Amino acid sequence: MQQLALDDYIGKAGTMSGTVPIPNASVAARARAVLVPGRTAVWIERGRDLWWGGVLWTAAVQSDGRGNLAVAVQAGTWDTYLSHRMLYDTLTATQVDQYDIVRELLDYVQSTPGGDIGIEYGTETSGVLRDRTYNRFDLPLVRDLIDQLGSVKDGFEWRIGSLRDAGGRRVKRLQLGSPIRTGHTDIVLDHPGPITAYTWPVDATGRASAWQSRGATSNANQAADSVPLMSALKVAEQDVADGWPRLDGSSDYTTVTEQATLDAHAAADLAAARTGTVIPEVTLDMSRASVSPALLGATVRLRIRDLWHPETLDARYRVVGLSISPPERGRPESARLYLEAA
């Protein structure tokens, strides 16, 4: 594999891209046999450590002007498989722990012929009970259902990680958390030091201090105008009192038919929108810092001293994303971490 790049996240799908050179007929035969988009599993190891796993989705054979052949490939983490699975049956849950609802959806996916890709899970619970009805007539994607279930007040995070068990077996493991956390001690990162560069974006284009969400539209009375279910208007009055201008936001949940569920979505969306988007990125020299996939969910202590931080920034953040660029000719190995306030 050449020109390899990979990333993994908490809260969204990770990706992998790279190029497989085809120098001779023997390699071409091997590549044709294994590079089957939609069917091939991809595992990436660094030494004997398992760093990434997912599904191969695209492969493009390329020939340059000199007749050199290569196959450009792209893959997505295991959770992207759930973006290709629909719910064809109605499922109902009444006062069921939200983690158990996720596992029920996974069981539905993996109980169908050809649907079991080997995702494993534990028995942990969140202590938060939910009522949900998923209607088969909506033809919902299973990934969307899990994302929506976790995006309400007192919700959760989820991902499907790639790891080795005690016996060395490669495992696809569902991870759930509110939030997902790993490790017990802070990892200290300094700039100047192992941090070679950083970006600190602050984006207020999505900030809001008032929020309302739209739900499903009822067609029960054909003689009346159809209007969607609306959440209560949520207003962060303290923001206005602190001097912020009123900023409005909205969201749509077209399959939600319960008022309490829609209100919970609106409350969670407002909480996320009140501070705007702040996702710091730090780039690490991997020869000076210990980096592994286990960093996802870990807490780092960031210490930065420069012209912008003359009194030294010293704060704790959780790692929610990891992007790796392995070494190539003329390019050192580096890692980029995506952070959120711990």
Residue-by-residue pLDDT tens, the chain, 342 positions: 888 999 999 989 999 999 999 999 999 999 999 999 999 999 999 888 899 999 999 999 999 888 899 999 999 999 999 999 999 999 999 999 999 999 999 999 999 999 999 999 999 999 999 999 999 998 999 999 999 999 998 999 999 999 998 888 999 999 999 999 988 788 899 999 999 999 998 889 989 999 999 998 876 656 667 789 999 999 999 998 999 999 999 999 988 888 999 999 999 999 989 887 778 999 998 888 888 888 899 999 999 999 999 999 999 999 999 998 877 677 678 899 999 987
For residue 48, the one-letter residue type is R
Q: Where are the domains of the chain?
A: 2-78, 85-177, 187-201+279-341, 210-273
Q: Which residues contact 121 (CB under 8 A, 6 or more apart)?
A: 103, 106, 173, 174, 176
Q: Got the DSSP string for 217-272?
A: EP-S-TTS---EEEPPPEE-HHHHHTTPPP-EEEEE-TT---HHHHHHHHHHHHHH
How far, in Å, CA of 109 to CA of 48, rounded? 31
Helical residues (DSSP H) of the chain, grouped into ranges: 25-34, 98-110, 142-150, 237-241, 259-273
Q: Roughly what angle, to the nearest 10 degrees, separates helices 142-150 and 98-110? A: 170
How far, in Å, CA of 128 to CA of 261, rounded? 13
Question: How would CATH label the architecture of 187-201+279-341?
Answer: Beta Barrel (2.40)
How far, in Å, CA of 32 to CA of 183, rounded? 41
pLDDT of residue 10: 95
pLDDT of residue 220: 60
pLDDT of residue 21: 96
Q: Return the H-helix or E-strand segment holding 187.
A: strand 187-191
Q: Check if CATH label 1.10.3470 holds for domain 85-177.
A: no
